[in-house]
Every structure is written in C-alpha cells, then in structure tokens.
Amino acid sequence: MAKEEDSIDTPAEPGVVEPRIVEARMAGSNVGERLRQDTVLWRYLDAAKLFDFFENSTLFFCRADHFRDKFEGAFTPTLRDQISAAHARGEIDYNYEEFKRRMRESVFINCWHRNQDDSAAMWALYGKSDCAVALTTTVGQLSDTLRVAHTEHEAWIARVEYVKHWSDPKLDISQDYARVFAYKTKAYEYEKEVRVIIDRTRAVAGNGAGKQHEEGIVIRIDGTRLLRSIVIAPDAPPWFENLVRQSARRYGIKAPVRRSKLATDPI
C-alpha cells in the first residue's frame, strides 16, 4: 500500500480548520520530491483571470466531474471490487457507479504546478496567449492562506502521484475515498501537479464559506498572504507588462512583478 506522509504539522487556531499537507505515494516514490514549506508553486493565468484575481481575491475550485480527463478520480479494478463488495454487504448505500458519480460531484479541486522555475510547456498550455501571467506561491504560504480563509470544510494540499490505472496500482485511500483525486494517470506526469482538495461529500450543498455553483466553488482569500510573485509571460508585449505592473500597484499588491526568465536574451 502507498504511504501517506504529512509534511507540515502546525497547531491550528481555535475554531480554524487547518489544511493538511499530504503525500499520495506509491512504492518506490522519490522521497526527495516531498512537499516542503518552501516548495514553489505556479498557477498560470490568462489576462482575464488575472484581473479577476486582482478585483476579487478568490481561488476557484473546479468540481471534479468538470475536468476533461476521463481518468479524473478513477478507481482501480481492486478498489472497484472492494466498493462493490461493501455495497453488497450493506456497508455503503450506493453501488460502484453511483458511488463514483456522487464523489465526483462533491469534490472540488484547485490546481498548481510544482517547479522552482517557470515552464515553457505550462505557458503554452495554460497561459494560452502572450498576454498571460503566472502567480507563484509556496506550500507554506498556500497553507497559511487557506488556514485563515475559513473554508469550513477541510482542505488538503496534495502532491499528485502519477499512475497507470489500468495496471491496478495499489492506491492508498484508506483515510478517505476522496484521496483518489491525489492520483492521476501517467499521461499527465509533465504537469507536476499539486492540488488543493476540498471534500464536501458529507456536506449539504450550498452551505459553506464559498459560493457554490454548477462548475465549482469560489473561496475568498487574502491575496497578499498568498502571493510570492507575479511572473509575466516571456513573449508578452511591453504594454501588457506595464498594465500588469500598474494594476498590481493600484490593487496594493506588494509581491514583486517580473518578466519570465525565459525572456532573457542568450549570451
């Protein structure tokens, strides 16, 4: 079975739901990749999403069944059989297909890219235009931001493990079935993803700190607490760079704004 390790253990304030930092691990995983407080995270945004962030200071958590990856939240053959057997014994109320559907509709995910430096592939995939930026933070800053955001339901920060679902890997979801969303298929390994996962399977829809709607939930956060830096796309025109800098000042953003190092001219 995979081993779960909590990387950060800080005392919670009274009445505050403390985010957990967890590792979804398989046998043979590289312990050197374990999340640390100073692990740098990136979130690539187009211009519209950047200015929405400036204006509203929110993080969007996509409902799991709205992701394009058909393996999102996929169970393995062994886990499917275990769920079916538990239903047959009357231990759970739903058969496997209903269980999977309900879980995908009640888990919400916010995605980050784990890397010390920016990535040309991530700019192309998620920046989507020359007028794009990346917000950077650290695991510690993200955890601290969520801690004071009063999300009501527990948030997990999980380093995604990439597996071959069809080969029936031994996933560790013994703590909670929603841990299945900390695993993705090998085809997405290049994303080096870290996820914030909110599990509302036991909650009444609509009762929470965030605004709930069809595609997901929106959590209001302290942008100043979250941001480490704002990085402007390498091919962004000068007018866009100036606009981002001016807007950051107007909204009181203290994090440094800089151009991507990929824009540097080679020697």
Per residue in 163-203, pLDDT tens? 988 888 888 776 678 888 999 999 999 999 999 999 887 76
Chain segment 70-112, per-residue pLDDT in tens: 888 888 888 888 889 988 998 888 888 888 888 889 899 999 9
Token pair 């994090």 is at which residue?
255
More confident position, 119 or 128: 119
Q: Is the pLDDT of residue 261 over 90?
A: yes
Chain segment 192-248, per-residue pLDDT in tens: 999 999 988 776 444 444 454 578 989 999 999 999 999 999 999 999 999 999 999
Residue 22 has what pLDDT? 55
Residue 16 has what pLDDT? 46
Using pLDDT thresholds of 50, 70 and 90, give the confidence band for residue 62. very high
Residue 259 has what pLDDT? 96
Closest to 147 measured CA to CA, from 138, 156, 136: 156
Q: Is the pLDDT of residue 126 over 80?
A: yes
Please calculate the CA angle 133-123-125 and round it to the nearest 5 degrees. 125
β-bridge mates for residue 220, sequence order: 58
Q: Are 62 and 130 in contact (CB under 8 A)?
A: no
Cα 42 to Cα 18, 110, 126, 229: the distances in Å are: 22, 12, 11, 10
pTM of the predicted structure, to 2 decimals: 0.83
